[in-house]
Amino acid sequence: MKRFNQKYFAAGVLIALLSATIGLRAQSDDPGRLVLHLPASLARLATKVSRVNVDGPLLQMAAANDKDPQSRQMISRLKGVYILDYKFAHPGQYSPAVLHGIVRQLHAPGWQIIVSSMDKSGKQAWIAVRRNSEMITALAIVSAKPTDLAIVNVVGPIDLSQLGALGGLGGLGALGKLAGPAGHPALQHR
């Protein structure tokens, strides 16, 4: 058992050292896009990794093929949808430094954290928006559980009341639950 714990401790230290460089990497060309250069070792430790990177021509093709006019309009204005989801067999297989490197970006100028949550079981979540004077220009959702780390980053003009329209892109339909009446975030206890 001691050998098992040492192995995960060593892996955690390695991930922490590698992920410390996340904040030092060059920022994306679009200030709404999070820098998600996570260490390759994180994927090797995970039991399942899901990635969605839809931007440019693929995003425009998705908009053109959408039959719902409201959805088509919202998708056509977006610059990109980026999702990373890691599932782990055991708690503690990803370093808190990885999570810190992602969440630190949500504290950058222009971003506003509108929801943050933490409970005693180790579940943590953040929802942040990036705004200009007129509208929301990016959305970020970070969810961390002891055996799961998920990041959603939607870049481009966003009307919170239309978030459910993204349901066809990588299972993002649940985003519609974030929008309450008149596009105000609805905080639901789950």
> What percent of the chain lies above the pLDDT cut of 70?
72
* pLDDT of 18 strictly over 50: no
Cα distances from 119 to residues 145, 181, 185, 187, in angstroms, run 10, 27, 20, 16
Question: Which pLDDT score is estimated for 21?
Answer: 37
Question: Which pLDDT score is estimated for 56?
Answer: 86
Q: Can you tell me the distance from the alpha carbon of 93 to that of 42, in angstroms, rounded to the nearest whole number?
A: 8
* pLDDT of 150 strictly over 60: yes
Q: Can you tell me the distance from the alpha carbon of 85 to that of 71, in angstroms, rounded to the nearest whole number?
A: 24
82-132: pLDDT as tens digits: 999 999 999 999 999 999 999 999 999 999 999 999 999 999 999 999 998
Closest CA to 137 of 110, 107, 176: 110
Q: For the whole model, what pTM was predicted? A: 0.74
- Residue 72 banded pLDDT, cuts 50, 70, 90: confident
Give the start-to-end residue ranges of the domains of the chain: 2-183
- Residue 80 banded pLDDT, cuts 50, 70, 90: very high
Question: Which pLDDT score is estimated for 188?
Answer: 41
Of 156 and 27, more confident: 156
Most confident of 4-18, 24-38, 40-54: 40-54
